[in-house]
Amino acid sequence: MGNSTRRKNFQAGSSLHAVIIIVLFISLMATLGIVFYQNFIAGKPAAVQTQKPAEVMTTITRIAFNSDIYSLDYPKEWKSITTKSDEQANGGSVTKITNPEGTVAATFTISGAGMSGACDVNDGLKISYYTIKDIPVGSLTDVPVYLVQAIVDNPGGGYQYIIGLTPDSGATHAVVGDSHCNVRSVGTASFLVLDGQKVVKPTILTSITFPKLSKAEDGSIKDMRQIKDMMDTDDYKAAVEVLESARKE
C-alpha cells in the first residue's frame, strides 16, 4: 500500500514537472517570436521628428565680377537681392539672401576696393565665444576658407558677433580670451590683389547676421545668450550652408 502511494506521488510529481517545462518552453518560444517579428519583420519604429527638416538648397544666385561668375545656393523660400553700387569699385556688388521671416541673412560682397583700418590690441576687449568649422570651403578662392563664429566684447558693455568665411590665419586659430583684434578679419574670404590697376583677386566679404536681434543704441547685444540661441536655429544652419555653397564657376 505504501509503495503504491509513493509511486502515485512520483508519477504526479513527474507530470507536474513536465507541465512546467512545457509551459516554460511555450513562453520562451512566444518571446523569441515577438523579438524576431519586431526586429526582422516589423522593423524598428520610425524616429520622431523633433525639428523641422533642414532647408533644401534648390535655387542659385549668380554674381558677375569682371569676367568671373560667383554662385551661391539657397532655399527657394528665401529671398536673394543683389545691389550694385557706384561706391563699389570695378562693378562690385552686395548680395543679401534672407529667410522669409527676415531674421537671418547671409551676405556676399565682392569688389575691387581694398580693406583699411586699425585695431587696438590694448583696449581690453576680448573674444568671449569662438568656434570654427573644420571642413573648409575650397571652391570660392585659390585657398581654402573656413566658417568662423565669434562673439566679442563691445566697448561700453554688451557684445558683438562676427560670422563668416576666413582663410587660414590668426582668425582661424583664435581662442576665448584673446584680443578681439585676432578675429577682426573674420568674414574676409579674399583680400584684394592688384597688378597695376587690374584686379587679380577681388575683395570678398561674407557674413551671417540677425537683422531683428534686439540691440542697444550703440548696436551692441546685451545678452550673449540671444546670439547663441539664434545660432541654434535651423534657419541659421541653412544660412551657413548658403555661405559654404559659395563658389567661383
- Kindly state whether residue 11 falls inside one of the protein's structural domains: yes
Q: Rounded CA gap, 206 and 247, in Å?
A: 12
94 in the same domain as 37: no
The Cα–Cα gap between 7 and 28 comes to 31
Q: Is 50 a domain residue?
A: no
Same domain, yes or no: 96 and 169: yes
Alpha carbon of 218 to those of 153, 157, 180, 215: distances in Å?
Answer: 13, 10, 18, 8
Does any domain span residue 52? Answer: no
Residues 233, 154: one domain?
yes
Show Cβ contacts of residue 210 under 8 Å, excluding neighbours closer than 6 positions: 103, 104, 105, 161, 227, 230
| Same domain, residue pair 72 and 32 | no
Looking at the DSSP bridge assignments, the partners of residue 215 are none
Tell me whether residue 51 is in a domain: no
Residue 153 lies in a domain: yes
- Answer yes or no: do 172 and 73 share one domain: yes
- For residue range 144-164, list pLDDT tens digits in order: 999 999 999 999 999 999 999
Q: Report pLDDT for 45.
A: 40
22 and 129 in a single domain? The answer is no
Asked if the structure places residue 227 within a domain, the reply is yes
Q: Are residues 81 and 203 in the same domain?
A: yes
Residue ranges making up the domain that contains 33: 1-45
DSSP-derived pairing of the beta strands 145-153 and 159-167: antiparallel
Shared-domain flag, residues 240 and 201: yes
Q: Kindly report the CA angle at 53 between 49 and 55, in degrees rounded to 5?
A: 170
Q: 28 and 61: one domain?
A: no
Average pLDDT, the chain: 84
- Regarding whether 193 and 106 lie in a shared domain, the answer is yes
User: Quick one: 6 and 80 in the same domain?
Assistant: no
| Dist CA 207 CA 191 (whole Å) | 15
Lay out the sheet containing 159-167: strands in order across: 127-132, 145-153, 159-167
Query: Using one digit for the tens of pLDDT, what is the confidence trace for 189-205?
Result: 999 999 998 899 999 99
> Which residues in the chain come in under a pLDDT of 70?
1-55, 86-90
Do 162 and 172 meet the contact criterion of CB atoms below 8 Å apart?
no
Q: For residue 247, give the C-alpha cell.
A: 563658389
Note whether residue 189 is domain-resident: yes
Q: What is the pTM of this model?
A: 0.77
If you ran DSSP here, which 8-state letter would residue 157 be given? S
Could you give the number of structural domains in the chain?
Answer: 2
> Is residue 98 located within the same domain as residue 219?
yes
Task: Give the pLDDT confidence score for residue 197 in this predicted structure.
Answer: 85
